[in-house]
Amino acid sequence: MKKAIKITDNVYYVGAHDYNLRDFHGSMYPINEGATYNAYLIVDEKITLIDTVEIDFYDEMLERIRSIIGDRMIDNIIIQHAESDHSSAFMKLMNEYPKAKAYVSISGKRAMLAQFFKDYDYQSVKTGDTLNIGRGTLTFIEMPMIHWPDNMATYFDDDRILFSNDAFGQHIISFKKFDDDYDYSYLIAKAKEYYANIVMPYGKNVLNKLKAIADLELAIDYIAPSHGIIWHKYIGKMLADYKDFASLKSKDKVVIVYESVWNNTKTIAETLAEGLGQNDIEPKVYKLSKTDSSLILSELLDAKALLIGSGCYNNTLASEICSFIDKAISLNIKDKYVGTFGSYGWNKLPIVNMDKKAENIGILLEDFNIAINYAPTQEDLEAVYEKAQKLAEFLKEKN
Ligand code: FEO
């Protein structure tokens, strides 16, 4: 038996709890505690639903909706984002509420048609368009590329809520829907992880949109995203931190990722960590095949540099490293420094040529590439340590 959760006098949470989800958006974002697909019902003279849920959770959403409006009809459905976690239950819902009008951004309409093939007389809206629903009015704000072209936010003036869709989301699954119930450090770590894994490539769009929303001078008491809890008490702090995320503001920290079979590349990685750590640059060291990529990306968001290490596998690198380099290229972190290292047996080329791949990630560290034959000698390790020391001095100057 699923019931709506009251948010304000007129607004209810009618979304779904996906307790068993461990891979958010395929294998792109491993998570530990499940996720929510937030849908919100506004009960005004007109009944309006903000977003739907992933299709497997349709019944849960409908139960929550009916617990509030019974047999009353929904008048408006706002499709803030065409990605399936928010839109795939829409068509089924239209069978239940066939007279509901669907509002969507222009590119959202294109995406809905391209995915679900049926036109529902979608009403296209753009930034600044409004919809009166009784006492209150909805104002639409396009949020292109945060993180799809069609993302949109909706402001409800009566309860001063900004429904922000994917922006400002986090993967917290709980009946305690407001930030007041949590420590800020826990919340912002979750929001940072979400940002790093979903939004990081679009920092410029985020910065522009944060400014555009500030310029609208909306009175905002709540920011209600489509995943996780609702921001209320910590809105100001969270927006300030989001600005830092979007500008990739970095600390004296380096992320070291590697793959190693016989511990030679591992020894290089840990010697680099020693040289950095002993010189006031915090190293975060991860063996890729043993670490969730979501953690690595979260740490990378505010690191100054990324060092990537691999052993040699016949004539190429470890497959995990190849795939990580591709992922790192997609993150658009071009102002972070990147260096490469590894151990090889009889073929040096994969290691010395790593720089050619890594230079597409960010700013390649000149003369950094470390290629060591089989096991590093004491002399090799001293040279690696010295390289890390020099890197630490270099990075400390970059603030
Ligand atoms: Fe939560 Fe872009 O979907």
Ligand 1 neighbour 81 (Cβ under 6 A): yes
Mind giving me the DSSP string for 215-276? Answer: HTT---SEEEESSSPBBSTTHHHHHHHHHHHHTT---SEEEEEEE-SSSHHHHHHHHHHHHH
The C-alpha atoms of residue 341 and residue 324 are separated, in whole angstroms, by 15
**pLDDT surpassing 80 at residue 309:** yes
pTM as predicted = 0.95
Own/partner pairs, 19-27, CB within 8 angstroms, 24+ separation:
19/173, 24/171, 24/197, 25/85, 25/198
Tally Cβ neighbours within 10 Å of residue 118.
9
Instruction: Pick the closest to residue 185 from 223, 224, 241, 225 (CA basis).
Output: 241
Q: Does domain 5-246 have CATH number 3.40.1710.10?
A: no
Of ligand 1's atoms, which has the minimum distance to the CA of residue 166?
1
Q: pLDDT, tens digit, for every residue of 279-290?
A: 999 999 999 999
> Would the CB of 387 count as within 6 Å of ligand 1?
no
Beta partners for residue 18, in sequence order: 35
**Domain map of the chain by residue range?**
5-246, 255-396
Residue 266 has a pLDDT of 98
Report the nearest atom of ligand 1 relative to the CA of 151: 2
Q: How confident is the model at residue 128 (pLDDT cuts 50, 70, 90)?
A: very high
* 166 among known catalytic residues: yes
Mean pLDDT score of the chain, rounded to an integer?
A: 96
In CATH, which superfamily holds the domain spanning 255-396? Flavodoxin domain (3.40.50.360)
- Protein residue with its CA nearest to atom 1 in ligand 1: 166
Ligand 1 centre distance from Cα of residue 83 (Å): 6
Residue 86 in contact with ligand 1 by CB distance below 6 A: yes
Considering 44, 54, 97, 227, which one is annotated as catalytic? Answer: 227
Residue with tokens 């976690």: 85
Q: Is the CB of 88 under 6 A from ligand 1?
A: no
Residue with CA closest to ligand 1 atom 2: 83
Element at 130 (helix H, strand E): strand 130-132
Identify residue 20 by its one-letter amino acid code: N
Mean pLDDT over 49-71 rounds to: 98
Query: Does 226 sit in the ligand 1 pocket, CB within 6 Å?
Result: yes
| 21-38: pLDDT as tens digits | 999 988 789 999 999 999
Determine which one of 12, 51, 81, 97 is catalytic.
81
Per-residue pLDDT at 186: 98
> What is the four-CA torsion angle of 191, 194, 214, 222, rounded to 10 degrees?
-60
What pLDDT sits at residue 25?
87
- For β-strands 47-50 and 40-43, DSSP reports them as antiparallel
* Residue 249 confidence (pLDDT) above 80: yes
Q: Is the CB of 299 under 6 A from ligand 1?
A: no
- Ligand 1 near 294 CB (within 6 A): no
State both tokens at 347. 């073929």
Is the fold of 5-246 the same as that of 255-396?
Answer: no
Q: What are the C-alpha distances in Å from 353 to residues 196, 260, 309, 342, 347?
A: 28, 17, 12, 11, 11
Average pLDDT over residues 299-320: 96
Mean pLDDT over residues 144-171, rounded?
Answer: 96
Residue 123 clears pLDDT 90, i.e. is over it: yes
Q: Among this protein's residues, is 242 annotated catalytic?
A: no
Q: Return the number of other C-beta atoms located less than 10 Å from residue 327's C-beta.
A: 14
Which tens digit of pLDDT belongs to each residue from 339-354?
A: 999 999 999 999 999 9
Q: Where are the alpha helices (DSSP H) in 117-225?
A: 184-194, 203-215
71 noted as active-site residue:
no
Evaluate: CB of 171 within 6 angstroms of ligand 1: no
What's the pLDDT score for residue 26?
81
Q: Catalytic residue among 25, 129, 232, 282, which?
A: 25
What's the one-letter identity of residue 131?
A: L
Annotated catalytic residue 85? yes
Say yes or no to pLDDT of 332 above 80: yes
